[in-house]
Chain A
């Protein structure tokens, strides 16, 4: 089976506090640690496990700039056979539809049976997979938390629905699936693995390589635009305990007791 995984490089929220920049029009990006969008990593692991069983190959693609190559290399170190960077100044400022349009053009150059995305990016809208599928007229399922290969033409999949219940469906290939975290245990990638693919070639495709008309992607085509960022303020905020740890522990214990939590 030929599988394409669409991945993205995002600020790693487990490593960073996300802060506003001084102008308030973006987050502070200077000190940010970036990594692969976590759900995309589960998508890659799933692709590698499928190919280990059925044969075939896994490609990983991202829409971005030179900096995003590191994510492709990371996924190649994990086991992806090919990494492809879709980069062009004309892509900058694309909304979800623009990104999906770029990916669609790339998919149509190849011959993929299965396309996987992560369920959602940290700064995204759980949108590109569903859009890509609709553009290609492929079937789509979101929030997928298990995949079983039925034959060369269809899969049996499970979607995570409310309350941890699972919705089981059959889906025809080729299709697009958005992968939920927890579907598998992504393998560890060490420095040695990264070094091994450090000089692997990563082809780069731009607007004209992909046959995309100027003006259909990028900032000018984007119907959806971020205006600014701001720190959310909800009605209630916690009373912060600022004592020593010992004082805080005492206070918490009193509160738990007062609220009927200590019987």
Chain B
């Protein structure tokens, strides 16, 4: 069996939640404990190595001050020097993994599968995995020939960490094998997201709109409902891409993480990047014209209807109720 490695994402010396998920996913390929690889500056990598040693039998450390800012090209060059041919490398499918993994598979001359949701096991030289297509509307079984190794990115949150006694992994310093690194891309700075006019993270009820709102002029329909409810309007990515609402209103992995009590998903298909921004197990009510929309798989209550007609009726009922209560 090929050796399995897990590339550990980390930030500020703290290992990402996905570290334990990668360890769990590796066990679905091979019962043997995988090896973690931690790449970063000395201080960072020492802290992260110590933290992940509980979940991995062995931890490879690559400390290099040029790796202090995460640069996928430098990390790729470091990995190519130390990862043996034919290995399976697991990486979290987040922005850094998307930057790193495809090129890594080319340089390792191995197969590549991205954004894997489930691993069904290995049959001969074939690794059997599950992916999603079309924004989560349909899944596919994919066979990956691992004869020459593979780079696999895994969807964050898709693999449950396995509880067990700490493994107390050995830390092996591989820094010397990597040597000097240089890249054609150089990090300059990180700019924090703009705050925006409304803080959607502070609201208990969100009227959240997606592509189903159809045009900018219709955003007012959602705002009227939000006003009647005392809620805020948030949205999914297509609404921001179309410039109908500010980026600060976007819920999702590349937007805000919200924790409302009630989440009204209006014309939102329910791509995982959007769902990743909804935390705290709110009560989700989904309205969508498409009965196959993935949002109905995660919502508590679903209605197949056109939001442009459903929302105004809901708004007028809320207003009626308010008027009665005020008397």
With a CB–CB cut-off of 8 A, which chain A residues contact B204? Answer: 260-261
With contacts A126-B102, A139-B73, A256-B205 known, is A182 near B132, CB below 8 A? Answer: no
Residue in B111, B141, B302, B314 whose CB lies within 8 Å of A226: B141
Residue in B133, B186, B297 whose CB lies within 8 Å of A122: B133
Contact A97 B106 (CB under 8 A): yes
Contact B184 A172 (CB under 8 A): yes
Contact A240 B106 (CB under 8 A): no
With contacts A18-B134, A125-B115 known, is A140 near B318, CB below 8 A? Answer: no
Contact B94 A162 (CB under 8 A): yes
Does B161 interact with chain A (Cβ within 8 Å)?
no
Most buried by B among A134, A170, A181, A245: A134
Instruction: Give Cα A48 to B288, complex, Å.
Output: 35
Does B51 interact with chain A (Cβ within 8 Å)?
no
Instruction: Give Cα A260 to B115, complex, Å.
Output: 36
Most buried by A among B104, B186, B309: B186
With a CB–CB cut-off of 8 A, which chain A residues contact B112? Answer: 96-97, 125, 127, 131, 224
Does B218 interact with chain A (Cβ within 8 Å)?
no
Residue in A100, A171, A182, A237 whose CB lies within 8 Å of B185: A171
With contacts A123-B134, A125-B114, A169-B185 known, is A232 near B106, CB below 8 A? Answer: no
With a CB–CB cut-off of 8 A, which chain A residues contact B145? Answer: 223-224
Q: Which residue of A has the minimal Cβ distance to B292?
A: A17
Residue in A95, A168, A248 whose CB lies within 8 Å of B305: A248
With a CB–CB cut-off of 8 A, which chain A residues contact B141? Answer: 226-228, 230
Instruction: Give Cα A168 to B189, complex, Å.
Output: 5
Instruction: Give Cα A243 to B304, complex, Å.
Output: 10
Contact bitstring B249-261, A, C-beta under 8 A = 1, else 0: 0100111110001
Q: Can you offer 16 A-B residue contacts whose CB atoms are under 8 A? A: A13-B134, A125-B131, A127-B112, A140-B72, A160-B254, A169-B186, A170-B185, A170-B188, A175-B185, A181-B238, A223-B144, A227-B143, A241-B301, A251-B301, A253-B321, A260-B261
B137 to chain A, nearest CB (A): 4
With contacts A125-B131, A166-B191 known, is A181 near B95, CB below 8 A? Answer: no
Besides A164-B248, A227-B143, A232-B138, 19 new A-B residue pairs in contact (Cβ under 8 A), listed by A number: A18-B138, A127-B102, A131-B106, A140-B103, A164-B247, A164-B254, A168-B188, A175-B184, A181-B238, A182-B237, A224-B143, A225-B144, A230-B138, A241-B301, A245-B305, A245-B313, A250-B317, A259-B261, A260-B261
With a CB–CB cut-off of 8 A, which chain A residues contact B250? Answer: 164
Does A94 interact with chain B (Cβ within 8 Å)?
no
Instruction: Give Cα A159 to B31, complex, Å.
Output: 37
Interface residues of B (CB under 8 A from A): 71-73, 76, 94-96, 98-99, 101-107, 110-115, 128, 131-145, 147-148, 150, 183-194, 204-205, 211, 229-231, 237-238, 240-241, 243, 247-248, 250, 253-257, 261-262, 264, 269, 283-286, 290-292, 294, 296-305, 309-310, 313-314, 317-318, 321
Q: Which residue of A has the minimal Cβ distance to B269?
A: A13
- The 6 A-B residue pairs whose C-beta atoms are closest, nearest first, are A130-B102, A139-B184, A238-B302, A134-B103, A164-B193, A125-B114
Q: Which residue of A has the minimal Cβ distance to B211?
A: A14
Instruction: Give Cα A223 to B111, complex, Å.
Output: 6
Does A262 interact with chain B (Cβ within 8 Å)?
yes
With a CB–CB cut-off of 8 A, which chain B residues contact A209? Answer: none
With a CB–CB cut-off of 8 A, which chain B residues contact A139? Answer: 73, 183-185
Instruction: Give Cα A42 to B105, complex, Å.
Output: 27
Contact B184 A138 (CB under 8 A): yes
With contacts A125-B115, A238-B286 known, is A11 near B134, CB below 8 A? Answer: yes
